[in-house]
Structure formats: structure tokens, C-alpha cells
A and B are shown apart, each in its own frame.
Chain A
Amino acid sequence: MTPIIKASKVTFTYPAKVTALRDINLELNEDEVTAIIGQNGSGKTTLVKHFNGLLKPTKGEVLVEGKDTRDLTTAQLSKIVGYVFQDPDDQLFMSKVYEEVAFGPKNLGFKGKELKSSVKNALKMVGLWESRKKHPLDMNLNDKKLVTMASIIAMKPDVIILDEPTNGQDHQGIVKVESLINKLRKEHTVIIISHNMELVSKVADRVVMMYDSRVIFEGSPKKAFTKKKLLNKTYLKPPLITQLGQGVKGMPSDVLTINELVKELQKVSK
């Protein structure tokens, strides 16, 4: 399988001479959900900004579908890589949800039927088709966030990056985001940046752990959450249910869901 995004030896230094990425080698495969985890300032956002060309590597190269990001503008790359920013208030500006979602596809030259169907499809996917005539700024944070996601989905990119998709949302908002990611994974490569380890454990196929501008781990969530030393170093804690498994003798240290633990207990008690 060829990777859809390939970063080789990527180093990035900001103009103020702060190095935010050091020697990153990473391959992201098609139709996988990758979660990038790590504390603020570890380089997560800087890394994903390289995937849609907002930043270009100081050293090394990033290939997106085989194309060097240095040869393309962000606008051109946005056809392939969609990036949903963390704070909806940084991007919402239209007076109707429908128009907001149509903005991206229009920039890409979508017209007529294609435009209509992609907007409709995106809004249905996030469950906001009924709210299409509302003013985005009148919505609550849960829904605002879903609007920004729809406005990227409507551009039909192959890769969708979600930066802190559950931040500031209530429990129901989080459930909605989770189910949306599960829908998206069928047709897209999904990258999430998240501090929410419960979400990561539920949706990610692969975890990329970052610390001090480097990737320090890459692998399945099951493996990631058993790496005690690495987790300690990055001040991350495994999901609550995993912590429970790790806290009781005789229990596996890599359970990620309630069901897994229940099954395990059924085995033991038989």
C-alpha cells in the first residue's frame, strides 16, 4: 500500500529560530484513522500544517499523494487535504449555514449540481441539513464545530484533519463527533489531533505520539497505551478503562473498551 502522506526527514524552524519539528519520518496510509497525541507545544499542529502546505519544511520533504507540498499552494492542496481548525469562531463568517458550507467547494470551482449535492451530502452527514438556514453564530458550540467539519467534508478531500474535534463540547457533542469520524473513515483518510484519550482509543487505528518536536512512538492504540515510560514523559494518561486494567493484578494492560474488559472478566470468572 502506498502512503497517502509521506514525511521524510522533516525539520521545521520558525522564522524566530524556534525549532518545532525535528527529523520527522512518517507515512500515513489511505483510509486509516491516525491520532496525533502529545502536550501543547510538542509540535502536533506544526506537523499537520505541513500536510496541507500551510507550512513548508525547512529541511526534508512532505509528499501528498506523491506531490511535493513545496510545489503547491495551500489552496491547491485543499482539494486533497482538508483541515478543520480547532476554534470554529476563527472561520465561520457567512450568515447561513448552507452558504458557509458552500464556501470551500466554491473556492475549488464546484458549480451547479455538483456544488449542491456536495453541500447537501456534507450537511446530512453531520446531521445539520435541517439547520441549513440558521446563522452559524447563533448555534451552540457543538453545532458550530459540526458546521466547520461539514464545510471541509463538502470539499471532498481525500484526507481530513480534525484539530481537537471534541474540545469544549458536552457529552453529546463528543458522541456525535465520534460517530462522524466512524462515518468519515469509510471514504477518507482521517487525522485527528486530540487530548481526549477516550476518543483516541475508540476511533484510532494508529497513534502517533509527539514530544519535544519529535515523534517518539508510532503504532496501534493498544500498544501506545501500554508504553508507560513514554506516556509519563509526555504527561499523558491512558483512557480510564485502560488505567483500570493496568491497576488490577491479573488483568490485561491493554483493554481499550468496556466490552473488552467485560469479556475478559467473563473468561476469568468461568
Chain B
Amino acid sequence: MAIVKFKDFSWTYQGYKKPTLRNINLSVKEGEFLGVIGRVGSGRSTFCMTMLGLIPHFFPGRIKGELVVDGLSVEESSIAELSTRVGLIFQSPDTQLTGAGTTVEEELAFGLENLGVPQKEMNKRVKKMVKLIGLESFRNRSPFELSGGQQQKVAIASVLIMQPRILVLDEPTAQLDPLGTSQVFDLIKKLAKKGITIILNTQKINYLAEFADRVAILNKNKLVKVDKARKILTDVKLLRRNGIIPSVYTQLSEQLIKEGLYKGSLCLTLGDAKKMIKKVVKK
């Protein structure tokens, strides 16, 4: 069953003539991992904000069509209601820490305080989350003193603690160093395994190649195509038409095919590429 369903969904920010999202039709299944790719300015960030209801409840504008998230119509529900179903993570590790907590634990608990969760339950969940993100030794530290990757993990845990079934991440690693990036992707992978529905907007298609079930391409405010990850990420024509450069491994296999060294399907992951090279060498 679809846990997120866009039906002819369009959105125009107040003061803009053209819609930032145009006629989106998309269903995301429970437990699915959906990758979202596209150019800067294609509407990906706005797309991410729709599901928590920041659109239309935080930013003014005009909606057409319908968006249903975990059984709730986004237009008719408050952000507070939606926040227990959808967790939203932004790009900047620093500004998405609310500053409400003087320690990591308090920052994690903030959402629960807002929901009026009893203290006992809060303690239990905070403990669990601190463990999940592996920051036990930092739990009494100020979140502002952590590294970018750690802050981003705190941000993720601080929405997960509200037990949403869907996690939407808008370029969560764009401002992180390689270590922070791998820390965050490891956490996302762990969550995907737990069965949380994940919608991940990222430029790093080699990571998507590893774990996404499906990938959606946005371009010029439209959903161009959504399909199995491998199918989209090896469709080089489609990617290039939409301003996306295929994975290095895909490019390599293209080149080898052109040179007549390799016959077969295009590679996507490191594993594929290794196999391909072994084949080429054997010949």
C-alpha cells in the first residue's frame, strides 16, 4: 500500500507565476527507499518540504491536486500532526538544531516535550536514540560542539524519536566532509533496514546505486521519470538529458563498449565494474 501518494500535485509559491512543482504523480510504498535526483533549482527541495506540510502550512502559496501521507491529507493536517509520521532532515547540520537543548540528549527530547510525552517514556526513547546514532559518549555535550556529521546524526535522531514511518532527507550530506558523509549514509542504511520508508534527495548517485529501490528524476519542476534504481541510473541518455552525469563506473563501461573491449550491460556499482574488468582481462 502506498504510504505517500501525490496525485496531480502542483505547488506555486506566493508571488511566483510559475509553479515550483508541476503535476506530480507518485506513489511510495511502505518500507521503500526512493532516491531523488536532479539539477539545482529543479524543485527537489520543495518536493521534500511538501510531505511534512511545510508546504502549504509554513510557506504561503497555492496547491492543486492532492498529497496523502500515511493516511493524512497534507493540506488538511497540521505540521505538528504530520511530524509524528514524517521526519524531515535538511542540508545544513547547524541550523536544523533547534538550540532548545543544551545537550545532545535535550535536543533529542525536544520534539517529545512538544508532544507532551511523559518523562519516563522520553528517557527511554532518548537512550535508545543515543545508542542508535552511536553518540553515547557525547550525550551530555552541547550539540553545537559536535562535528558536522555528528550534528546531522543528532538531527536525524531528533526527528526519528518522534517515531515517524517516513524519513525525508534533503541533501543531508551536501555540507559534510567524507567522514561525515559516510557516517550519515551508514545511519540511513541502518534505518532502511529497519523498514522505515526513506526518501533521499542527493547528488551522490554512487550511494543511491548501492541502496535505493527506486529513483525519481526531477527536472524543470516536473517529475520526469521514476523507476527501478538500476534502470534509471544506467539510462545514460535520460540522465544526461536531465543534467546528471552518470556514475564513473557507468561511464567506464560505456567507454569500454565503444572501444570494443566489452560487450554487456552498463555497470553501476563498484561490484559491477570489478566483474566487468575481470571479464575484459580474461579475454
Contact = CB atoms under 8 A, between A and B. Distances in A.
A248 B252 CA distance: 15
Interface string B161-198: 00000000001001111111110000000000000000
Interface in A174-198: 175, 195, 197-198
A167 B174 contact: yes
Residue of B147, B180, B277 contacting most chain A CB atoms (<10 Å): B277
Given A141-B40, A244-B274, A269 B261 contact: yes
Contacts of B248: 198, 239-241, 244, 258
A172 B178 contact: no
A235 B178 contact: yes
Interface centre among A40, A41, A259, A266, by most chain B C-beta atoms within 10 angstroms, is A40
B96 interface: no
A40 B40 contact: no
Interface string B198-211: 00000100100000
Contacts of B277: 244, 248, 251, 265
A262 B178 CA distance: 27
A90 interface: no
Contacts of B40: 140-142, 169-170, 173
B261 A266 contact: yes
Contacts of B41: 140
Interface in B236-268: 243-245, 247-249, 251-252, 255-256, 259, 261
Given A170-B203, A248-B278, A262-B261, 17 more contacts: A140-B41, A167-B175, A171-B39, A195-B177, A198-B248, A236-B178, A240-B249, A241-B248, A244-B274, A244-B277, A265-B256, A265-B277, A265-B280, A268-B280, A269-B280, A269-B281, A269-B283
Interface of B: 38-41, 91, 147-148, 171, 174-182, 203, 206, 243-245, 247-249, 251-252, 255-256, 259, 261, 270, 273-274, 277-278, 280-281, 283
Which A-B residue pairs are the 5 nearest by beta carbons?
Answer: A235-B179, A171-B245, A170-B40, A240-B248, A40-B177
29 contacts: A39-B178, A40-B148, A40-B177, A167-B174, A167-B175, A168-B91, A168-B171, A168-B175, A170-B243, A172-B39, A173-B40, A175-B245, A195-B178, A198-B248, A237-B178, A239-B248, A244-B248, A244-B277, A248-B281, A250-B281, A251-B277, A258-B251, A262-B252, A262-B261, A265-B261, A266-B261, A268-B280, A268-B281, A269-B281
